[in-house]
Amino acid sequence: MTQLPKTTERKMGLVIDLDTCVGCHACVVSCKGWNTENYGAPLSDQDPYGSNPSGTFLNRIHSYEVQPESGPAQLIHFPKSCLHCEDAPCVTVCPTGASYKRVEDGIVLVNESDCIGCGLCAWACPYGARELDRAEGVMKKCTLCVDRIYNENLPEEDRVPACVRTCPSNARHFGDLGDPDSEVSQLVAERGGMDLMPEQDTKPVNKYLPPRPKDMLNDGPREEIDILAPLLAPVVEEPKGFLGWLDKTLEKL
């Protein structure tokens, strides 16, 4: 089986804001486009115009409904891709060494020339973040756009993952989560960023920012109203009174 590096120099990863993600799938398709054209084999599609289309995607959005104890149901859009775990079980399970975690930045990658397509890593990943490409027979996963983030053929501002560059609502952030002073680490600190399924002990590098509390202007008890939004005090109770108020108020303008 394959060893993980003892430490990595940086912990590059994504911070995904679930309060802001509108579920538009821009990141999903931008990822598909870049990674079809770049790193390794193209992301293939089977039966693309037929009855059961399916294809390889490195990033997908799931939508979940949440029914709070009181108040209306909510819909959370949840983008999911490889979380580049510090203790990545997909790497240690790999029989050929094809799966590995980079020392420089912690990115988990698959060396496609060594991958035998056995699928063990996909079974080992508790997040379901790896997909076997059916045309190529190799395992595909998020590369954190390793071929963009250092790419000297791209302008410096474009050296970010394709999903981050394209996200219209700025719900995706990229940076070094090993550096407590980085913008992404500070965002995680400010907004209470969370690990996905921490009980799995995978130590994911990617973090999720939770949705903010919702529906505060609902039918709460009376006391609550005064704190959150005092109701408007009437200046008049009938149209005639209004015109008198109008006149008085205009005098002050």
Q: Footprint of another protein on residues 80-119 (CB under 8 A)?
A: 96-97, 100-103, 109, 111, 113
Of residues 15, 58, 59, 77, which one binds another protein by CB under 8 A? 77
Burial of 234: CB neighbours in 10 Å, binned 0-12, 13-18, 19+: exposed
Of residues 10, 12, 14, 17, which one binds another protein by CB under 8 A? 17
How many residues lie near another protein (CB under 8 A)?
104
Between 183 and 202, how does the x/- string for binding to another protein read (CB under 8 A)? Answer: --------------------
Report the nearest approach of another protein to the CB of residue 178 (Å): 18
Tokens representing 241 are 């009174």
Residues 6+ apart with CB under 8 A from 251: none
Of residues 29, 120, 124, 194, which one binds another protein by CB under 8 A? 29
Residue 23 touches another protein, criterion: CB under 8 A: yes
Q: Are 198 and 207 in contact (CB under 8 A)?
A: no
- CA angle 131/201/65 to nearest 5° reads 60
Which residues inside 206-245 make contact with another protein, applying CB under 8 A? 211-212, 214-219, 225, 228-239, 242-243, 245
Which residues inside 46-75 make contact with another protein, applying CB under 8 A? 46-55, 57, 63, 65, 67, 72-75
Residue 132 touches another protein, criterion: CB under 8 A: no
Which residues inside 135-194 make contact with another protein, applying CB under 8 A? 135-136, 146-147, 150-154, 157-158, 162, 165-171
- H-only helix segments in 78-182: 89-92, 120-124, 146-149, 162-166
For residue 117, the Cα-to-chain-centroid distance in whole angstroms is: 27
Tokens representing 75 are 């819909």
Q: Are 91 and 108 in contact (CB under 8 A)?
A: yes
